[in-house]
Chain A
Amino acid sequence: MNKAYDKSTQVVCKALDIDLAELNDWNCCGASAYMSIHEMKAHLLSARNLVLAEKEKKDLVVVCPACLTTLTKTNHYLAEESRFKRTIETSLKAANLQYRGSVKVRHLLEVIVNEVGEQEVKARIKRKLSGLKVAPYYGCQLTRPFGEIDDKEFPVILDRLLTWIGAEPVDFPLKTKCCGGLLMMTNEDVALGLNRNILDCAKQKEAECIVTICPLCHMNIETYQGDVNKMFGTDFKIPALYFTQLMGLAFGFSRKELGIDDEMISSRPLLEKHLEVIG
């Protein structure tokens, strides 16, 4: 399923002439459970990635908001003189590494909207997603805590991109509400409740699918929809698509190329209904 995010990211970036280069010898960003068990070590993991990117004189682009937040946090902390900075520096030194603070950390969504832009995206559209009502789901970490990309509580950056490719983002008040994240492993009842709220809101707003920008949100929303239904007696059957998958469809790629065939709730009927070839 996350392979689908990888696949669709690769083909869409290629179509947009974004030259993605996998960071050599990268490691986990330190998000997930690590951060709550040993914060310093989690930041150290992040710092190592920043060092590797700096060595290659590249900026870091990520598709996962958790990676984005962790790496950005580390970057912010290392920009100021502190005990934190000295500890990280000492630890990096032990591996003969050093960070000068030159790397920018960005989410692919923001790169596409701000760097590539409306004109370039629209120029590549081969099929229109006309009238497809989508719930733009940002999750909790794209804009928080820093708010550098968009409004912290009510971002519109994904809404804009979706409009460019012909979809109709619905008004989605829960767009930045938490999906439960890893709570699904440790406290499933609570996490299922959170997902129920999100699904319920999407349904009320008559969204035909939910568009995600985070692999963890995507997993919770899609994979656990059956469990939500079981627990709450609901009958949700709302497909979830990565923003890269919807872009890929508009750009004319096949379901297989975008990994859509791996999905657990089929989006085939609704996509067939809405996809129209241009010209």
Chain B
Amino acid sequence: MSEKIGVYICHCGLNIAKTVDCKALAEYASHLPNVTVARDYQFMCSNPGQEMIQNDIREMGLTRVVVASCSPLMHEPTFRRAVAKAGLNPYLFQMANIREQCSWITQNRVLATERAKDIVRAAVMRVNFNEPLEVQKVEVNSNVLIVGGGITGIEAALQIADSGKKVYLVEKEPTIGGYMTRFDKTFPTLDCAACILTPKMVSVEQHENIELLTYSDVTDFSGYVGKFTAKIRKRPRYVDEDKCTGCGQCEEKCPLSVPSEFDCKLGKRKAIYRPFPQAVPNVPVIDREHCLYFTKGVCRVCEKFCAHHAIDFEQKEEYVEVPVGSAILATGFDLFDATRIKEYGYGRLPNVITSIEFERLTHASGPTTGKIQLKNGKPPESVAIIHCVGSRDKNYNEH
């Protein structure tokens, strides 16, 4: 069955009619396929305008309606209501905007009219494909997934959890805290970063509405608005989170030291380690790549010394699925790879360091306990600071 389309061209006073020949446009529209009637009127959104459409629906049996006027933001709801009152499904109505990006942007009547014809023709062609829709209400799951346990994820988790909603906070590192854990002071108040951050980290761990998933990542996210399922992979720590008390014996006894990622490899950590003493959760993780048991099949010293039998070399990765209604991505940032800019010598010259490495040097609990020193242990005589390396430089980053 072919559709019967009514097309209504609005003058919008002179807003449209000044540059678009509305009479000619209506005449043009009347010859388009499936168009039963095409009219123009001074104010389509006014009562007489709406009534004109409703009468045509009733008397001519229109099955689709196109109004060419202002932006959908302005009057789409108005016209949907109007056609619904006349018994037509409101989604069989199509709006064509011939004002904002057509009549308003030129004084050339010929060009504006031609463009308006294109817009109206497109809307007429499209409205044939519109389908009647029914509005229904759907339950929205109030659980929230937060990806990333840096200061952004932490703050979001606390605020949402305080408002009574369940939060799943997923962090890929063994501890939450993110980059801020490495900072000494924060700009511009020069507050101690740890003094702001660590109480919040503890609150996250203790909050009854927050389920913390560290050393984990989101592998799948499916569903639709308000009802999603997140699949989360929990990597094995090889330490039982329930049994471990965080006493630190295992770290002390572990015989293997490797460069610490947390200290930008300026300091050392053990093969079983917490990135820093205030880690949350306060449970170490075994680094499979270095651990002597995993690489050579020997050692297991940590197991021997753990009074709580928390070490579990057999732990496997686990997948959990959680239902959520919304998600916050707080995955943070990565540092620019400064070795790419050869002339600065990062990676080539020993005492060229990045801002985060400098931050670790200034940090009271950093690898130098806050002393700024060269690789040879001596204090620098002079320091040069290069700002914004790689930033806003089209050779390295477009943005």
Contact = CB atoms under 8 A, between A and B. Distances in A.
A146 interface: no
Interface string B341-353: 1110100010000
A226 interface: no
A44 B395 CA distance: 30
Nearest to A152: B395
A142 to B, nearest CB: 14
Contacts of B342: 151, 153-154
A153 B349 contact: no
A193 interface: no
B136 to A, nearest CB: 58
Interface in A127-172: 151-154, 171
A252 interface: no
Interface string B366-399: 0000000000000000000000000000010000
A173 interface: yes
B338 to A, nearest CB: 12
Contact of B341 (A153, A173, A176): A153
Nearest to B395: A152
Nearest to A154: B342
Contacts of B349: 171
A99 B176 CA distance: 65
Interface residues of B, number: 6
B264 to A, nearest CB: 23
Interface in B288-331: none
Nearest to A150: B342
Interface in A162-196: 171, 173, 176
Interface residues of A, number: 7
Contacts of A173: 343, 345
A171 B342 CA distance: 12
Contacts of B395: 152
A176 B345 CA distance: 14
Nearest to B341: A153
A89 B300 CA distance: 79
A152 B342 CA distance: 9
Nearest to B340: A151
Interface in A27-58: none
A47 B351 CA distance: 47
Nearest to B348: A171
A139 B395 CA distance: 20
B182 to A, nearest CB: 29
Contacts of B345: 171, 173
A152 B343 CA distance: 9
A168 B345 CA distance: 18
Contacts of B343: 153-154, 173, 176
Nearest to B342: A154
B163 to A, nearest CB: 52
A152 B349 CA distance: 19
Nearest to B349: A171
Contacts of A152: 395
Contacts of A171: 345, 349
**Chain A CB within 10 Å — which of B343, B349, B395 has the most?**
B343
A171 B349 CA distance: 9
Interface string B238-266: 00000000000000000000000000000
Contacts of A154: 342-343
A153 B197 CA distance: 41
A255 B35 CA distance: 94
A140 to B, nearest CB: 13
A185 to B, nearest CB: 29
Contacts of B341: 153
A151 B348 CA distance: 15
Nearest to A155: B342
A138 to B, nearest CB: 11
A157 B341 CA distance: 16
A176 B349 CA distance: 18
**Chain B CB within 10 Å — which of A152, A154, A171 has the most?**
A154
Contacts of A153: 341-343
Interface in B331-365: 341-343, 345, 349
A154 B395 CA distance: 14
A231 to B, nearest CB: 25
A177 B21 CA distance: 63
A236 B319 CA distance: 70
A154 B349 CA distance: 13
Nearest to A147: B395
Nearest to A151: B342
B384 to A, nearest CB: 11
Contacts of A151: 342
A170 to B, nearest CB: 12
A161 to B, nearest CB: 18
A154 B352 CA distance: 16
A9 to B, nearest CB: 28
Nearest to A175: B343
Given A153-B342, A173-B343, 10 more contacts: A151-B342, A152-B395, A153-B341, A153-B343, A154-B342, A154-B343, A171-B345, A171-B349, A173-B345, A176-B343
12 contacts: A151-B342, A152-B395, A153-B341, A153-B342, A153-B343, A154-B342, A154-B343, A171-B345, A171-B349, A173-B343, A173-B345, A176-B343
* A-B complex: 4 closest residue pairs judged by Cβ atoms: A154-B342, A154-B343, A153-B343, A151-B342
